[in-house]
Amino acid sequence: MSFDIATVRADFPILSRQVNNRPLVYLDSGASAQKPRQVIDAVARAYEGEYANVHRGLHFLSNLATENYERVRAIIARFLNAPHEDEVIFTSGSTEGINLVSYGWAAPRMGAGDEIVLSVLEHHANIVPWHFLRERQGVVLKWVEPEPDGSLPPEKVLAAVGPKTRLVAVTHMSNVTGTIVDVGAIARGTHVPVLADGSQAAVHMPVDLAALGVDFYCITGHKLYGPSGSGAMWIRRDRQAEMRPFLGGGDMIRTVTRDSVDYTDPPLRFEAGTPGIVNQIGLGAALEYLMDLGMDNIAAHERGLRDYARDRLRSLNWLQVQGDAPGKGAIFSMTMQGAHAHDLSTILDKRGIAVRAGSHCAMPLMEFFGITASARASFAMYNTTAEVDALVEGLTFCRDLFA
């Protein structure tokens, strides 16, 4: 499939609707992306004619549902170029995935004084699980600040690694500034295990786990044009072998007696209970859609949007954009003197433009920039330069309103 923006937009039914009597301009994909017809149809088909619980039945529908569900593991492995399919663990999203690593891998091997290196760019999902270890086990969190432009040089992260460092946990792409972090260089530069939060990066550019060399990598389905409640955590086999189960229940055991339990092999060892069957099937459809379009094609289209939006926003000398790292993604966090971010979002919404306002689950980064909130426009593969123009016109309207 070649990348044609008109054809791509036609695949997303919601983009044809109006909001406040204006065409919808959806610039909040960093929070959650819209869904193409291919995903909607896959979810409907799974519920309408193919649904049953997985792994536990011998009847036709259970076998069919299991086959459709389990094939998603191979799709994710192909999407991320993971070395082994059984390294893909299904989760409800990145938050569950990072908590899985925190509880299942980090907690049993870390004690008082052991260190975890984090960057100030992190989403709360890659901060709070490590605070649990700080509170409960005396683990020390070592923070690495970005440069003033929002960039995060790998050598700065590596400089924070010391003899007591047990993990480096860092985002692959900031959800606030679009900064892309060279997690491969970080992984190559240290013997310490590296967890990369791929929640944003995997949406906007090709990811090659075989080349990156990290130990843990998470994705979240609802940002990848799939259903909410879907996602995966990729964990290298040798790290899986070091882990204890995170949740207990069905599917993750071989046998259970009154006196003992025998756990099954990974990845099912870390997937207790009835999973989000249809959510994961929908994620598989989303990833196949992305691969058909080509992640390189999507990245090229979004680079064009980024460059166009950057030039247009720079022309607004009364607007402050937080972070302008070289090679960043098409995400822009903005403030305007005299107007709160919530005001900007509300006024833009009246013009049919959806942006996010607040701290974006990144309070340490807000503090670093000296603000409490920003308005964020996050672009996706279905956005156009005309929508950039609509955003600039909307921001200009806001400026005039508050002048």
Catalytic residue IDs: 361
Q: Give SS3 for 318.
A: coil
Pairing verdict, β 216-220 and 231-235:
antiparallel
Sequential DSSP letters for 59-111: SHHHHHHHHHHHHHHHHHHHHHT-S-GGGEEEESSHHHHHHHHIIIIIHHH--
Which run of H or of E encompasses 259? none
Sequential DSSP letters for 323-360: ---TT--SEEEEEETTB-HHHHHHHHHHTTEE-EEE-T
User: Residue written as tokens 């399919």?
Assistant: 85
Amino acid identity, position 69: Y
Q: Cα torsion at 125, 205, 370, 129 (round to 10°)?
A: 10
**Helix %, strand %, coil % for the chain, to 5?**
45, 20, 40
Given a contact cutoff of 8 angstroms between Cβ atoms, the answer to whether 321 and 375 are in contact is no
Return d(Cα 187, Cα 201) in angstroms, integer: 16
Distances (CA, A) of 326 to 158, 179, 240, 307, 323: 20, 8, 35, 11, 10
Return d(Cα 300, Cα 360) in angstroms, integer: 26
Return d(Cα 145, Cα 165) in angstroms, integer: 17
Return d(Cα 256, Cα 263) in angstroms, integer: 9
Return d(Cα 330, Cα 339) in angstroms, integer: 23
Amino acid identity, position 183: V
